[in-house]
Structure 1
Amino acid sequence: MSKNENMKQHSSRRGRGGPVGGGGPMGIKTEKPKDFKGTMKKLLTYIKPFIPRIIVVLIFAIGSVIVGIRGPKILGEAITKLYEGLVGKAAGGSIDFDFIAKTLIYLMVLYGASSLFSFVGGFIMSGVAQKISYNLRRQIAEKINRMPLKYFDKMTHGEVLSRVTNDVDTVSQTLNQSLFQMITSFTTLIGVLVMMLTISWIMTLVSMIIIPLSIIFIGIIVKQSQKYFKTQQESLGQINGHVEEIFSGHNIMKAFNGEQRAVDKFDTINETLHKSAWKSQFLSGMMFPIMGFIGNIGYVLVTILGGWLTIKGTIKVGDIVSFVQYVRNFQQPIGQAAQVANILQSTAAAAERVFAFLGEEEEPEDAEKTVVTENVKGQVEFKSVHFGYNPENIVINDFSASIKPGQRVAIVGPTGAGKTTIVKLLMRFYDLNSGDIFIDGINSMDFKRNDLRDMFGMVLQDTWLFNGTIMENIRYGRLDATDEEVIKAAKAAHAHHFIKTQPDGYNMVLNEEASNVSQGQKQLLTIARAILSDPRILILDEATSSVDTRTEVLIQQAMENLMKDRTSFIIAHRLSTIRDADLILVMKNGDIVEQGTHEELLSSGGFYAALYNSQFEEAEAS
């Protein structure tokens, strides 16, 4: 595995899915944010560069509303003309069909223009929302590469991926809907109110009764539905995580007859999701029927009052029709305002999670360092190294060792002794609590991280291959390598023969889990990748544990060539594989308890000799 794979592997070990879908009006999840104002202020900094476009959207929205709200008034004039014509016809007059026809054509033009303005404004707003989404995703992607590995020790990778997918999508969708909707709703509210006043201030006053009633009922519904939406989102995340876990470990689940347990757990979570979902959706769905009921009360009052005013001759018949239409138009922004309130809650909650991730502590930036990394010999020295993944649990205690250039150093010991941790510290995946690590006499802290990691090649027990061709997977070790260099590395790793037997050879595409090649073949490919990277220092973490005996012999031959004149760290559990090491470091509970060659350690009869002999006793017993 190449030098950067440990970090890549760390972020790809869990499933790629996050919660999908959501609740709330229009499918938007409505989890309440902890700091609504603060989050919206941060979100405004992302919106600020697009203010000129938003102003254009505002102009088109206002234009759409101004043009649109003229319609009912003009339609009322046509109805009045038709009514007067019918009344006059009884007295020998006629209906002015020319006026009515011209009015209808004018209305079609008005509504067409209103729709066009709305379409253009929505188009621009969609572009703004997607650009904000693009910027957020890019920042998250860049942030992930700057995060220390300790962050991923405490945060599940599915949770991190959810920030990139679900949360950013929620921000994008809700911005697209809510911003344009807020603009149109506000302008519609003002415009309709003005038009209503031009018809009758008394009828306008009566129709205002629906506003406090609407606000009261909407507030009650939103308050009741919030808790169910929150439970729905939590259950949705749990059920997605459970399904992801079961699918990723499907073979193990089948092998241990765990199907029923998996189904039972799914049913439990699904039942909670079902209860919270139907309650939240029911309460949310009640909003518009209630608004309709309140609106109908308004219509009744307006119609009765309008009829009375018509009889008195204060307003015309067509004005009643226009006013009823304006009342309907007046109700819509109120309902939309409630919906936007939910949408903004959702936006803030999703944005809050995104900003929380973007605000996480990063790896300290490397200062401008001029340490030359060319012609590194590979001398490594550990001096009084102390380290713990958390301060309460120190796993490396006063580790000191000196490795000469070109030496093969085996690190052995029982599980949990700290063998792999030493390698992570060597590559600065984690910083030391205290002590120093020197490479060619230079403190590792004085190197830039990228320069430091360029010195290393890694082949780990857990292989990491991505969805791509075999050629691309090997070339990951050195992206500028030619096809001939990739093939040469594959031959050195004894992978060429099996690659040529595959469909399409080097152009064969490995699937997402690389399950269309065997475990041993995957290991051969990662070894070829390490050979291609041509590292100065090599790290082998039980690199041959997943292959058969015959393949292991071939790999050992390739490793001999790879380790020649290079400092090599070999982490081994099978002690028979490190007999020829120049130096063996025996670790126990984070300390080096013995060091020396294989023969020296056996003859001393200490901890290493006990480990070595116990392995052969187990082999003989089996």
Structure 2
Amino acid sequence: MKKLSKFLKPFALMTAFVLVLVFLQSLSELYLPTLMADIVDKGVMNGDSAYVWKIGGYMLLVAAGGMACSIAASYYSAKVASGFGKNLRSKVFSHVSGFSLHEFDQIGTSSLITRTTNDITQVQQVLVMMLRMMVMAPLMCIGGIIMAVSKDAKLTLVLAVSLPVLILVIVILAKKGLPLFKSMQKKLDGLNRVLRENLTGIRVVRAFNRIEHEKKRFDVANLDLTETAIRVNKLMATLMPIMMIFLNLTTVAIIWFGGIRIDHGHMQVGDLMAFIQYAMQIMFSLVMVSMMFVMIPRAAVSAGRITEVLELTADISDPLAPKQPEAGRGVVEIQDVTFRYPGAELPALSSISFAMKPGETTAIIGGTGSGKSTLVNLLPRFYDIESGRILIDGVDIREMTQDDIRSRIGFVPQQAVLFSGTIAENIRFGKEDATDEEIRHAAKIAQAEDFIEAMPDGYDSIIFQGGSNVSGGQKQRLSIARALVRKPEIYVFDDSFSALDFKTDAKLRAALKAETGDSSVLIVAQRVSTIMDADQIIVLDEGKIAGIGKHRELLETNKVYREIVMSQLSEEEIV
């Protein structure tokens, strides 16, 4: 929690104002029982109605002032907590945006979502309570004890017996509750993961008729979280009855011994009434503390999880003195590159070397798991290589800023991703200041113009979340248009033509050749027909280069490539 306190600095003045308001509210509540004692002892006992009305008026003013302070404190504490939550969410989001794929794999997407939403909300709720109670509870407790002693010192021995026992109970329950709160947040992550997998994979679930299986998975995760929540609530639910028992027993003891002291003339009736009020205030201040003990452990767990994200540094960072390529336009050299995923025993890629030049198309083909997508993820520096070098126009990408690297690349991922918004907004995602003419031109090259214009609102047609209202081929073409609109030096197409029919594929490749003539083009493909005309074809097999050359050359000399070709094309098509 302390590590997150820096996010309160912009609200320091408002926080101080809240604490002052709470202080004034506490003083008003501590003063009211003394005024009531004066009314009873000096007004009612003496039959002085004027005094009763006078002090009663003071009580109304003090109560009204306390109420005004309470309302203002509630408003500003909520404002501070909301601003704190907003700033913290923004910081976590921007920090996570700088993570490499390794950090996402390490924490997990579902956990990051929980930490950015539920965990920050937990901390925010506790902050509101702390702003109100962290001054009020100790002030009411200490102030109540001082005022009770001023009314009758000997009677406070009753509190000296009950309060330590009550504090001990609160501490024991809080210590038992903390591990359960930690467990709850982890199980909430698990529930989010199951729910996210089910929703994103709903088509697969239904296609394989596994709805009941997914329901059982969700029920198991849900029941696990529920059982832990019930255990926590049972534990914390015992706190209030225990508090009430001690409160009532303490009140009975005060009335019993207070009655004896009144009988002996050591105490007045009004003072006893005030003493009972102060005892209640002391006990209720401990109730406030106990409520904080219920909330703070869970918030402490949440704060720890948020801090873990903020303290996690990305494996990939920009150099202190970045370099920029001086000349050239998209010359890429991959020199003896080896890469392995974190925790993997064997490298995913070993000793990869080749070059890409402007105006040429380089194609990568290979079997499943050969490392094709891994290789293209290294070029925009989504992962860092283990050894070797990747150069863009003679500069190692580790000596360039990530923004500089990625601004030179038009990347079309293997899984086409669209965002909720219009078609124009999705294409403009590739270039923020793209004109309408540039958007239409990119869509035309990507063979998306016909289906876009056939839609009711054309380029202003809405794309649903995840592109659920367009087909797989349409999503791929819009993703390609998004890359084309930025006119980069390097194009990377990661199996981006798989959902296209052969006719559209051929037309798209022909249009691309004219459009990307001055750029380096890297195509990863499963279909041989997509890459037959490439200037160089790189054949990957088990993370290693099995051959480099043109189609005819590889067909004659490379066994791996020949097997891939024979499995896809007929004798007539091969030639």
Residue of structure 1 equivalent to 2:479 = 526
Q: 2:389 is paired with a residue of what secondary structure?
A: strand
Which residue matches 2:346? 393
Residue pair 2:335, 2:388 contacting (<8 A) in 1 also: yes
Letter in 1 for 2:275: F
Deviations 1:522-560 (A, max 9, x none): 112111111211111111122111123343343233323
- Which residue of the partner structure matches residue 114 of structure 2? 162
Range moving further from structure 2, 230-239 or 417-426? 230-239
- Offset at 1:132? 2.9
Change (3 A) 1:404 1:58: closer
- Is structure 2 residue 289 aligned with structure 1 residue 328? no
**Structure 2 spans left out of the alignment, 5+ residues:** none
- Cα drift, residue 137 of structure 1: 2.1
Are 1:459 and 1:530, in contact at CA under 8 Å, matched by a contact in 2? Answer: yes
Deviation at 1:408, TM superposition (A): 0.9
Aligned position for 2:380: 427
Q: How far apart are 1:232 and its partner, in Å? A: 3.9
Written as runs of structure 1 = structure 2, the 5 A alignment for 1:526-565 is 526-565=479-518
- The counterpart of 1:65, out of the listed 26, 30, 33, is 26
Partner of 1:32: none
CA contact (8 A) 2:547 2:558 kept: no
The answer for the alignment partner of 2:266 in structure 1 is 314
In structure 2, what is the equivalent of residue 296 of structure 1?
248
**Aligned residue in 1 for 2:319:** 366
Cα deviation per residue 1:292-347 (whole Å; 9 max; x = unaligned)?
A: 11111111111112222222222222222221111111101112222223333223
| 1:545 maps to amino acid | S
Q: List alignment gaps of at least 5 residues for structure 1.
A: 1-39, 86-94
Please name the residue that 1:379 is paired with: 331
Give the superposition deviation at 1:568. Answer: 0.9
Find 1:171's aligned residue among 123, 136, 152: 123
Tell me by how many angstroms 1:447 deviates.
2.6
* Paired letter, 1:70: Y
Identity of aligned residues (%): 32
User: What amino acid is the match of 1:101?
Assistant: W
Matched position secondary structure for 1:208: helix
The CA distance in 2 between the partners of 1:442 and 1:222, in whole Å, is 57
Say if 2:127 is the partner of 1:148. no
Q: May I ask how many residue pairs the two structures share in their alignment? A: 571
2:548 alignment partner AA: Q
Compare relative contact order (CA 8 Å, sep 6+) and give the higher one, 1 or 2. Answer: 1
Give the deviation of 1:230 after TM superposition: 4.2
Aligned-pair CA distance for 1:457:
0.8
| Letter in structure 1 aligned against 2:307 | F
CA distance in 1 between counterparts of 2:165 and 2:54 reads 40
Instruction: Determine if the alignment matches structure 1 residue 504 to structure 2 residue 465.
Output: no
Instruction: Give me the whole-angstrom Cα distance separating, in 1, the residues matched to 2:559 and 2:426.
Output: 43
Letter in 1 for 2:66: S
CA contact (8 A) 1:203 1:305 kept: yes
Shifted more, 565-574 versus 377-386: the winner is 377-386
User: Which SS does the other structure have where 1:577 is aligned?
Assistant: helix
Instruction: Determine which of 579, 584, 587 is the counterpart of 2:537.
Output: 584
**What does residue range 180-579 of structure 1 map to in structure 2 within 5 Å?**
180-362=132-314, 363-372=316-325, 376-390=328-342, 392-579=345-532
Letter of the structure 1 residue corresponding to residue 290 of structure 2: A
Of residues 550-559 and 510-519 in structure 1, the stretch that sits farther from structure 2 once superposed is 550-559
1:127 aligned partner: 79
TM-score, with structure 1 as normaliser: 0.86
Q: Spell out the pairing of 1:601-612 with structure 2 (5 A cutoff).
A: 601-604=554-557, 606-612=559-565
Counterpart of 1:491, as a letter, is K
- Considering only aligned residues, what root-mean-square deviation do their CA atoms show, in Å? 2.4
Measure how far apart 1:48 and its partner are: 5.2
1:71-92: CA deviation from partner (whole Å, max 9, x where unpaired): 112122223456426xxxxxxx
CA distance in 1, matches of 2:186, 2:558: 57
Q: Which amino acid aligns with 1:259?
A: I
1:615 aligns with 2:568: yes
Give the distance between the partners of 2:85 and 2:222, measured in 1 at CA: 31
Instruction: Give 1:487 deviation, angstroms.
Output: 2.0
The secondary structure found in structure 2 opposite 1:136 is helix
Question: Does the CA contact (< 8 Å) of 1:209 and 1:298 recur in 2?
Answer: no
CA distance in 2, matches of 1:539, 1:478: 16
2:334 alignment partner, SS class: strand
The separation in 2 between residues aligned to 1:364 and 1:233, in whole angstroms, is 30
Distance in 1, Cα, partners of 2:368 & 2:506: 25
Q: Please state whether the residue corresponding to 1:209 is helix, strand or coil.
A: helix
